[in-house]
Amino acid sequence: MLRLFLLLFCLLCASIQANGNDVRVDIRVTAAFSKQDIGNQFYVELAKLALSKGADGRTVPNIVPTVSMNQARALKELEKGTLDLLWIGTDIDKEKHFRAIRIPLHMGLMGFRRFIINEQDRDKFTAINSLSGLRQLMACQGTHWPDTKILKAAGLNVLSTSIHENLYEHLGKGRCDYFPRGFHEAPAEVKQWKAKFPSFKVYDGLILHYPFTIYFFTTKQNEKLAKWVEDGLEKMIDDGELLAFMQQHSYTAHIFPLHRFQSSTFIELKNPWLPLDTPIKDPRYWLSADWFKRSPQ
């Protein structure tokens, strides 16, 4: 009788965990690539804040890192149900197959790309002030990154690889001329690779911009978790906490105030893979290039 009771109890627990209308006690996410991967820390901490802000009296789930993986594998794991929450750059295909929580996690700043270059190539870039000039050079990008398609669609030359570390190797060895990175990512990465490639510099004379962002994603069956995170992020925006989080977290704090970059040349690209109904003009969610011309934020 006891064995039957335990069996029924285990089946009940499994049913609750499998039901898309219930939120797991442990929310499984991708793990950091290294201890220096403060980007992973940023998203984990933001997810925790959103879950806490949107809890409305419910017990806040734990965020449990699994293993580190590239974007292609992460999407497969999310689809299989071995990941519950994923942060990744959005596009039409992802929003078709998964539940996008359509609140930009950096308020659109991921679409502003700063260049990591080799110091000896600085003159190449100071001579460029347009897209046509940039087309003469070679960019490095990840094979599965949405950015790669965007750059190629704009006629830019791109050398790609699926191994993240190899991008820095290619740049350091002169196989490509520049590595466009998220606005907040470049300085930390230059510092991280300084010992091996001391010639790496962040070049702010040119800044690429296209409408692009990272969202949190769940499966479409996991609507309850998606709505919980969404409600929490909305409340953070209402209270000014999302922008404050960006201004304080070590992953993004160093880019503020944005008006320091007002003398940079902005090169605008289109993003054909962004859903047409994305509210990129809504200042509640998206920063625009005008923010770089305002008084200090």
Residue 67 has pLDDT above 50, yes or no: yes
Q: Are 139 and 157 in contact (CB under 8 A)?
A: yes
The CA distance from 151 to 280, in Å, is 19
Task: Output DSSP code: residue 37.
Answer: -
The CA distance from 18 to 47, in Å, is 21
The CA distance from 219 to 40, in Å, is 20
Nearest C-alpha neighbor of 98 from the set 234, 257, 274, 220: 220
Calculate ∠ Cα 293-109-288, nearest 5°. 40
Q: What pLDDT, on a 0 to 100 scale, did the predictor assign at position 19?
A: 41
Residue 6 has pLDDT above 70, yes or no: no
pTM for the model stands at: 0.83
- The tokens for 86 are 């994923």
Inter-CA distances, 197 with 117, 172, 234, Å: 11, 6, 41
Q: What pLDDT, on a 0 to 100 scale, did the predictor assign at position 34?
A: 83
Domains identified in the chain and CATH numbers: 15-108+214-255 (3.40.190.10), 109-209 (3.40.190.10)
What digits encode the pLDDT tens for the residues 123-165?
A: 999 999 999 999 999 999 999 888 999 999 999 999 999 888 9
